[in-house]
Structure formats: C-alpha cells, structure tokens
Structure 1
C-alpha cells in the first residue's frame, strides 16, 4: 500500500478518534449526573437543556462530527477506492482533520463564536477544495476511471 494511502487512512482514523473522544468526554459529563439523580431521566428524554453547559457543549460538538465529516469520509473513501491517492489529497484531508480538532477544541471549551466559526468555515473551504480536486481528477482529467 502506498504511503499516501496509509496517510489518508490515518486522517480518517484521526477524525474517528476525535468523534470517539468527544463521545467519551460527553459520557463522562452526562452519565454520572443521571446515575446520581442530579438529572432526572424525564428531564433529558427529549431535551438536553437539563444538562450543565459543559455537557451541552460536548453534545453539540459530538453532533457536529456527523455534519461536514460525513462528506470528508465519503471523499476519502472514494479516493481510496479509486486507488489514486495523491499528496494533494493527503494534505487536504489532514488539513480538514486538523481544523476539525481546532473547531472541536473551541466548541468544547470557550465556545467563542468568531474563532469557532472561522475554524468551521476554513474546514468547509478545505472540504470543498478536496471535493473539487476529486471531481477534477476523477471525472474531468481521467474520465476512464
């Protein structure tokens, strides 16, 4: 397997680890409160507002890992499937994942809107470039694939 393919797979794994990490942190914030009775089951059955701010921030960040990253996974898997992983793909993939980590760090700590929005937007732009590059390479430049 070429190094570029391995590095692309590692970027996917890094994104998955971010999602799992946020899930574990969220569980650590939420489960003890429910188990101790601090928060009643009825209060969280439909709405998260009964949780303290930190738990809600983690929950929102976890939900966010199933928005743009889904498009990243599809692009990365398509690139791997075609067997044509290049350095541009790897750099864009890792840049996207790093920006997701930055976004999640801001989202789950200060939740400062402007830096969070900037990180999200930068990640979205990188993802759009990755998709445009993918389409250009696979559909326009190499239509026989």
Structure 2
C-alpha cells in the first residue's frame, strides 16, 4: 500500500457511507410511500410529494442530500493531498476524523435529528475540514 493510498481510504469510506445512506433512504421511503398510498404524480414537484412523508422518513433523504454538500469539498481536498503525496499522520487523522463525524452526523440526523446537536456535529466536522484545507493550501502555495 502506497502513502497516497492511505489518504484515499477515508475518501472511499465516505463514498461507501453515502451508499449506506442511499439504501437506508429507500428502505424507509418506499414502504412509507406504499403505506400512505402516495400517488407519484409527475405534475407535482418532487419536494411537495416527499414533504407528505413523516419527518422520520424524510430525515434519511435530507442527510443523503447533505452528503453532497460539504463532503464534496472534502473529496477535493483529500484527493489533492493524495496527489501531492501528503499522507502524513496529521492529514490522515484529520480525514478519518472528518469521515467519522459525518457518519455520526448521518446517524444522528436520520434517527434523532435534534438540530442543536446536529449543528454541533456539523460545525466540528467543518472545522476539521478547514484544518485539512489549510494543510492542502500550505502544500500548494
């Protein structure tokens, strides 16, 4: 295993986690749609249809969508560090910590969804991502 491969592990792990959330979203959403006899009308905006689902069902989809927001910056920064050959323990620990907090954020949002706690998890993961970005900036500038 090369040094840059070590930096790619958290990237692949977060992509895999996104698929876990994708599956969880559909495993809860499809039965809820069926129980409610929701008519999937192409004339009704999808958001309007999905807003009819119970909140506990929507939380999974909300989190799945969130995994395409800040984590896209993580992918760019982590891939940049891997290309730069930075697989130092500091960068790898920050990357894994970011992934770990995103997983905790996902589970929390999908099950409890207390906004204050969810925001704290988001803010902490964002600070880790900022630190990782600073490391990348120091390497390229």
Q: What TM-score, normalized to structure 2?
A: 0.88
| Matched residue, 1:8 | 7
- Structure 2 counterpart of 1:32: 31
Find the counterpart in structure 2 of residue 91 from structure 1. Answer: 93
Unaligned runs of 5+ in 2: none
Q: What's the counterpart of residue 125 of structure 2?
A: 123
- C-alpha displacement at 1:120, in angstroms? 0.2
CA change 1:46–1:112 in 2 (3 A) is: closer
* Rounded Cα–Cα distance in structure 1 between residues aligned with 2:111 and 2:47: 25
* 3-state SS of paired residue (1:126): helix
Q: Does the alignment pair 1:18 with 2:17?
A: yes
Aligned residue pairs total 138
Name stretches of at least 5 consecutive residues in structure 1 with no aligned partner.
140-145
Give the Å deviation of 1:111: 0.4
- CA distance 1:35–1:112, change in 2 (3 Å): closer
Structure-2 change in CA distance of 1:130 and 1:53 (3 Å): same
Take 1:37 and 1:46, find their aligned partners in 2: how far apart are those partners? 16
1:133 equivalent to 2:132? Answer no
C-alpha distance in structure 1 between counterparts of 2:122 and 2:15, whole Å: 17
SS at match of 1:51: coil
Answer whether contact 1:57 1:107 (CA < 8 A) is retained. Answer: yes
| Contact residue 107 and residue 116 of structure 1 kept, 8 A | yes
- What do the CA deviations read for 1:53-104 (whole angstroms, capped 9, x no partner)? 2221001000000111000000011111122321111011001001101111
Where relative contact order (Cα < 8 A, 6+ residues apart) is larger, the structure is 2
Q: 1:70 aligns with which of 69, 72, 77?
A: 72
